[in-house]
A and B are shown apart, each in its own frame.
Chain A
Amino acid sequence: DAGVTQSPTHLIKTRGQQVTLRCSPKSGHDTVSWYQQALGQGPQFIFQYYEEEERQRGNFPDRFSGHQFPNYSSELNVNALLLGDSALYLCASSLVGLRDSYNEQFFGPGTRLTVL
C-alpha cells in the first residue's frame, strides 16, 4: 500500500519563474491538502481539494493555485515566484466523505523549493 508520494524532491528556481509540484495521495484517500512549511515553522495550510474542486483555502495569494485529477492526484502551481516562497511544500491526503470529518492526515515527504 503506497503512501503519499510527491515529486520532485528538490527544486531550484529563480524569482519570477513558475513551478508545478505533484502529489499522489495514499491509496483509498480522496482528499488532498497542501501545506507550506518554512524553516523552523509549523506547516501552514494552502488549500484542499476534494472531488476535483478547491474546497477550502488558507491565507495565500492567487499566485498559488492547484488542481485535482479524477484519480485524486493533485498539482500545486506557484506563479511569479518570490524569495519568500522558499519552503518545504507538503501534500497530505485524507478520506473525507460527504460530511466533514477530522481524520488524520498522511503527509508526503515534501518538495523542497528554493527560490534564488
Chain B
Amino acid sequence: GQQVMQIPQYQHVQEGEDFTTYCNSSTTLSNIQWYKQRPGGHPVFLIQLVKSGEVKKQKRLTFQFGEAKKNSSLHITATQTTDVGTYFCAGPRGSQGNLIFGKGTKLSVKP
C-alpha cells in the first residue's frame, strides 16, 4: 500500500547547527504537508506544497517539494531550542483527502 517514509528518525544537534529531514512517498503526491508536534502536544500545521519543485520559506525553515512530487525536505537553518519537537510530513491517500503521515523526525537541540 501507499507509504510515506521519513529519515532520520532522530536528530540531535547543537544549537546553531542546521537540520534537515527527508520525506519519501511510494506514490506521486498531489501535495505534501508538514506538521510539527512539540513534546506532549499535538501536530500543528506548518505548510503545504503543491507544485513540482516548489520551494517555500518560513523564516529559518525551508521546505522543498521534489520534481517528481514523490519526495520533500524540511531544512532548518541555525537551530534554536524552540525548534525542538517531531516533524512529520503527510500526503493525501490516493484521490482521497485523508492523510498518510510519516513516522516523523524527532529533533533535539542542545543549548
Chain A residues proximal to chain B, CB less than 8 Å: 33, 35, 40-45, 48, 56, 58, 88, 90, 94, 96, 100-102, 104-110
Task: For A47, give the chain B residue with the smallest CB separation.
Answer: B98
**In the complex, chain B residues whose CB is within 8 Å of the CB of A107:** 35, 42-45
Query: What DSSP secondary structure best describes chain B's contact surface?
Result: loop
Inter-chain CA distance A56–B90, complex, in Å, is 17
Given A42-B88, A107-B44, decide whether A102 and B30 contact each other with a Cβ distance below 8 A: yes
Given A45-B93, A102-B30, A104-B48, decide whether A109 and B41 contact each other with a Cβ distance below 8 A: yes
Contact check: which of B30, B33, B35, B98 meets A45 at CB < 8 Å?
B98
Contact check: which of B48, B96, B102 meets A100 at CB < 8 Å?
B96
B104, A58: Cβ atoms closer than 8 Å: no
Chain B residues proximal to chain A, CB less than 8 Å: 30-31, 33, 35, 41-45, 48, 88, 90, 92-93, 95-104
A106, B41: Cβ atoms closer than 8 Å: no
A105, B101: Cβ atoms closer than 8 Å: no
B88, A108: Cβ atoms closer than 8 Å: no
